[in-house]
Amino acid sequence: MLINFSFGNFRSFRDIKSLRMEAGRVEDLSDSVIEKDGFRLLPVAAIYGANSSGKSNVIKALGLFREIVKDNDKLRSDKSIFQDSFMLDEEGRKSPTVFEIQFLLDSVVYRYGFEYLTTEIVSEWLYERKIEPNSKEHVLFEREGEDFTISTKYFPEGKNKKELRTKNRLFLSLVAFLNGEVSQKLIKYLSHCNTISGLESDSYERLSLKMIEHQSEGYQEAMELFKKLDLGFTAIEVEEKELPGGLIEKLAALPNFDLKELQEQRIYQTYTTHNVYNKKGKIVKQTKFRANHNESNGTNKVISFSGPLFNTLLKGKVLFVDELDAKLHPMLTRAIVRLFMDKETNPKGAQLVFTTHDTHLLDKEYLRRDQVWFTEKDATEASDLYSLLEFKERNDRNFEKNYIQGRYGAIPFIR
């Protein structure tokens, strides 16, 4: 489970900022707090802020961190690492970007991070603390430029591996590539921290449609959600088809298109079933709609989002979503958030972090104060990330009203 994620010199964030998922001393919605191995962790965090304040960059930070760790073992020694540093500072272009994540896995707290430039890993570290009485955090390995400290006691899989490293290669990824058990386990966890956009479903829609087509894990839960949200249809099905032969021939004639790959491509068409009524309001038959033509953008988003949603809930993963509320009625957004807040629908401790403009969620009935975060830019256009918990507020305050009035910052200044 995610405890903390920190990042700095990334896009609009010049300084190191942290998103903390540990519960504070807040009594509201205490039943939603996930208690595990002595930790009290939050299932949900919502990030508010004006347009261009840096909300999306929090999501992108985790996404880039995950991709670097996951794909670094494939990087050739002469290739660069993608860096997206703060560009409005003379030092930002020359300084390293930093990422660090702290998480709980198998009753052990791990803390892993690195600093990097496009051409090299500047520093890298991995620590662990076992959940047992009087336990302390131990160094598994530390790297500072060419200097390495590797614990043969706590990280024996790293022994004699540093000679195989290259300047641009993460040591964790290298050891995992060489079948290091702990390293592989940690990278597997990080690969389960997914980031998606609520505005663009292309990257995850297929996961949802395959789930519906094959009625695989998550299908029944998705059907229950569709019914609960009163989307209007009584059934849904997905048909998988090959690309039309004529289209394959035309595309294959173009450069950069592979005939075999085109023949393996599939088109997914979603159909929803609706009742047809007579003048007396009685059901006389049923008809099918093509979802992308006849259903609303919001309904299509819920269908597309159902795959990653239930994949996260049923497997206890972490999901970062940019613009969760895009195209959705506020009641639908609340229903999705409630799935993570309720232990009956979230028995494995899945976590959801999302950006939003939906101020209706700023209510102690839906979110705790320690679950609300804000982004705001300063006079130098550097983003800040801070929690509502930093403001001394009584629980009977109207948080939505106070936010709109600018009490917490993170709103646009309209002249």
Q: For the segment 230-261, what is each residue's pLDDT rounded down to a tens digit? A: 999 999 999 988 777 777 677 777 777 776 66
pLDDT at 324 over 80: yes
What's the confidence (pLDDT) of residue 74?
Answer: 80
Comparing C-alpha atoms, which of 50, 43, 21 is closest to residue 403?
50
User: How many other CB atoms sit within 10 Å of the CB of residue 275?
Assistant: 13
Q: For residue 145, what is the domain's CATH number?
A: 3.40.50
Say if CB 103 and CB 191 are below 8 A apart. Answer: no
What's the confidence (pLDDT) of residue 262?
Answer: 62
Q: Is residue 327 in some structural domain?
A: yes
What's the confidence (pLDDT) of residue 228?
Answer: 95
What's the confidence (pLDDT) of residue 163?
Answer: 81
Domain limits at 190?
Answer: 1-201+315-414
Structure tokens at 344: 């009956």
Q: What is the mean pLDDT of residues 324-349?
A: 97
Comparing C-alpha atoms, which of 314, 71, 349, 36 is closest to residue 191?
71
Q: Is residue 170 in some structural domain?
A: yes
Lowest mean pLDDT among 36-40, 250-254, 309-313: 250-254
pTM over 0.85: yes
What's the confidence (pLDDT) of residue 250?
Answer: 73
pLDDT at 405 over 90: yes
Q: What is the mean pLDDT of residues 48-58?
A: 98
Lowest mean pLDDT among 59-63, 94-98, 131-135, 401-405: 131-135
Q: What is the mean pLDDT of residues 12-31?
A: 96
What's the confidence (pLDDT) of residue 64?
Answer: 97
pLDDT at 78 over 90: no
Phi, psi of 308 (to 5 degrees): -60, -30
Amino acid (1-letter code) at residue 38: G
What's the confidence (pLDDT) of residue 38?
Answer: 94
Q: Is residue 398 in some structural domain?
A: yes
For residue 263, what pLDDT band results from cuts at 50, 70 and 90? low
Point out which residues pair with 319 in neighbouring strands.
Answer: 194, 352
What's the confidence (pLDDT) of residue 392?
Answer: 86
Q: Per the structure, how many domains does the chain have? A: 1
What's the confidence (pLDDT) of residue 73?
Answer: 80
What's the confidence (pLDDT) of residue 264?
Answer: 62
Q: For the segment 127-185, what is each residue's pLDDT rounded down to a tens digit? A: 999 998 889 999 999 999 989 999 999 999 999 888 878 899 999 999 999 999 999 99
Whole-number Å distance between alpha carbons of 262 and 290:
24
Quick one: three-class SS letters along the chain?
Answer: CEEEEEEECECCECCCEEEECECCCCCCCHHHCEEECCEEECCEEEEEECCCCCHHHHHHHHHHHHHHHHHHHHCCCCCCCCCCCCCCCCCCCCCCEEEEEEEEECCEEEEEEEEECCCCEEEEEEEEEECCCCCCCEEEEEEECCEEEECCCCCHHHCCCHHHCCCCCCHHHHHHHCCCHHHHHHHHHHHCEEEEECCCCCCCHHHHHHHHHHCCCCHHHHHHHHHHCCCCCCEEEEEEEECCHHHHHHHHCCCCCCHHHHHHCEEEEEEEEEEEECCCCCEEEEEEEEHHHHCCHHHHHHHHHHHHHHHHHHHCCEEEEECCCCCCCHHHHHHHHHHHHCCCCCCCCCEEEEECCCHHHCCCCCCCHHHEEEEEECCCCCEEEEEHHHCCCCCCCCHHHHHHCCCCCCCCCCC
Q: Is residue 349 in some structural domain?
A: yes
Q: Is residue 164 in some structural domain?
A: yes
What's the confidence (pLDDT) of residue 414?
Answer: 77
Q: What is the mean pLDDT of residues 102-130?
A: 98
Whole-number Å distance between alpha carbons of 98 and 102:
14
Q: For the segment 380-395, what is each residue's pLDDT rounded down to a tens digit? A: 999 999 999 999 887 7
Q: Is residue 288 in some structural domain?
A: no
User: How many other CB atoms sit within 10 Å of the CB of residue 288?
Assistant: 14
Q: Is residue 240 in some structural domain?
A: no
Identify the burial level of 246 via C-beta atoms within 10 angstroms of its C-beta, where 0-12 means exposed, 13-18 middle and 19 or more buried.
Answer: exposed
Instruction: Name the percent of the chain lying above pLDDT 70.
Output: 97
Say if CB 241 and CB 251 are below 8 A apart. Answer: no
Whole-number Å distance between alpha carbons of 238 and 290:
10
Q: Is residue 161 in some structural domain?
A: yes
Q: What is the mean pLDDT of residues 405-414?
A: 91
Q: For the segment 361-371, what is each residue's pLDDT rounded down to a tens digit? A: 999 999 999 99
Comparing C-alpha atoms, which of 71, 46, 144, 67 is closest to residue 363?
46
Whole-number Å distance between alpha carbons of 406 and 233:
41
User: How many other CB atoms sit within 10 Å of the CB of residue 278?
Assistant: 9
